[in-house]
């Protein structure tokens, strides 16, 4: 008969297994808490930066944050306009009006350009001057010039060159970057042929850059200063009114003027005919003195004959003897 041994449960092993599982669970929860804490810490550090970026976006016009919270004002684009004007004014004293125009232009911060002065046959003076004034003072100076006398003609023109200014500025930026790249390549070039090629390319691009800079300066000058071309002419002096009925003096003066006019026309006609008359007289003189004596003379005509014989020739009449001084009859 077998004896039945009691079965022993591995209680210590089970307890050890349960302890190990509890420790494992505790470690995982701690690691999770540590990772959560680190992530929270990271979020706490990154949160102010995000707030700063949002604030920067709100401050920048047209940002993403500004569109969600508040509508930012549109960006104002500066316009560049070339203004030119031409004025023709009749004044009583041209030098005085010109001095006023110069003073007004200089007081506005501008300067006087080209100036041309002429005087006609009647003594009336006419001056043409080019004035350059700041655009801000353009209307003020123009109104002042119009008030110097009687305005005869006015024309004004405004040309918007904003696109040209923006285009030239962009091309200058690109050209400067291109020149900088060529210079970097020259610093790294080892072969002489590469250096020569890069120098030629650099010269070409620098020339293009200088042309763009000159064009930008010209646009800046024309848009910042308006051009006014002013023409000043003197007012003709009015003659005194006379009686409508002509008198003896008026008739005498008119007759004298007609006589002088006739003499003047006769002198003009004589001066026009004189060269032809001189040539004709010279021709006749040469004919009589040179050509005619050399011509062969015609032979004497033969006597006419009849059945009775030749007819007697007519003899010339004897010439009367000429009396000499001192001889008695």
pLDDT tens sequence across 134-174: 999 999 999 999 888 889 999 999 999 999 999 999 999 99
What pLDDT is recorded for position 303?
58
Q: Round to whole Å and give the CA distance between 266 and 250.
A: 24
Which residue ranges of the chain lie beneath pLDDT 50? 1-19, 22-70, 72, 74, 76, 239-242, 327-329
What pLDDT is recorded for position 47?
38
Q: Round to whole Å and give the CA distance between 186 and 183.
A: 5
- What are the backbone angles phi and psi of residue 322, rounded to the nearest 5°? -85, 135
How does DSSP classify residue 305? B
Query: Is there a contact between 228 and 131 (Cβ–Cβ < 8 Å)?
Result: yes
Residue spans of the domains in the chain: they are 81-237
What residues contact 266, with CB distance under 8 A and at least 6 apart?
Answer: none
What pLDDT is recorded for position 122?
76
Other beta carbons within 10 Å of 93: 15
Q: How many residues does the chain have?
A: 329
pTM of the full structure: 0.46
Half-sphere exposure of 320 (CA within 13 A, CB side): 3
Specify the DSSP element, H or E, that contains 81: strand 81-91
Classify 310 as helix, strand or coil. Answer: strand
What residues contact 82, with CB distance under 8 A and at least 6 apart?
Answer: 158, 159, 161, 222, 223
Q: How far is CA 86 from the centre of its chain?
A: 14
E strand intervals along 199-263: 225-234
How does DSSP classify residue 234? E
Alpha helices in 225-286 (DSSP H): 248-286
Q: Round to whole Å and give the CA distance between 127 and 104.
A: 17
């Amino acid at each position: 008969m077998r004896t039945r041994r009691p079965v022993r449960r591995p209680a210590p092993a089970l307890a050890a297994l349960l302890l190990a599982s509890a420790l494992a669970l505790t470690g995982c929860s701690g690691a999770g808490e540590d990772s959560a804490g680190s992530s929270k810490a990271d979020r706490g550090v990154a949160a102010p930066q995000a707030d700063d970026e949002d604030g920067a976006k709100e401050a920048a016009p047209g940002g993403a944050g500004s569109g969600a919270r508040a509508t930012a004002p549109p960006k104002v684009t500066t316009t560049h306009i070339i203004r030119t004007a031409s004025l023709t004014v009749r004044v009583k004293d041209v030098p005085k009006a010109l001095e006023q125009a110069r003073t007004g232009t200089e007081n506005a911060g501008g300067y006087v350009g080209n100036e041309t002065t002429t005087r006609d046959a009647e003594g009336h003076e006419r001056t043409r001057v080019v004035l350059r004034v700041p655009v801000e003072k353009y209307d003020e100076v123009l109104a002042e010039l119009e008030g110097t006398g009687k305005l005869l003609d006015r024309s004004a023109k405004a040309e918007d060159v904003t696109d040209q200014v923006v285009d030239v500025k962009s091309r200058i930026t690109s050209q400067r970057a291109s020149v900088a790249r060529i210079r970097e390549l020259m610093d790294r070039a080892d072969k002489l042929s590469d250096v020569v090629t890069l120098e030629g390319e650099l010269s070409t691009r620098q020339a293009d850059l200088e042309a763009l800079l000159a064009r930008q300066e010209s646009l800046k000058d024309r848009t910042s200063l308006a051009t006014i071309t002013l023409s000043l002419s003197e007012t003709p002096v009015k003659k005194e009114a006379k009686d409508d009925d002509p008198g003896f003096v008026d008739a005498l003066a008119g007759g004298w003027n007609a006589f002088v006019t006739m003499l003047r026309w006769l002198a003009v006609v004589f001066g026009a005919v004189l060269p032809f008359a001189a040539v004709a007289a010279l021709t006749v003189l040469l004919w009589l003195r040179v050509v005619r004596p050399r011509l062969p003379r015609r032979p004497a005509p033969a006597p006419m004959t009849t059945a009775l014989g030749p007819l007697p020739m007519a003899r010339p009449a004897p010439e009367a003897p000429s009396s000499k001084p001192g001889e008695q009859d």
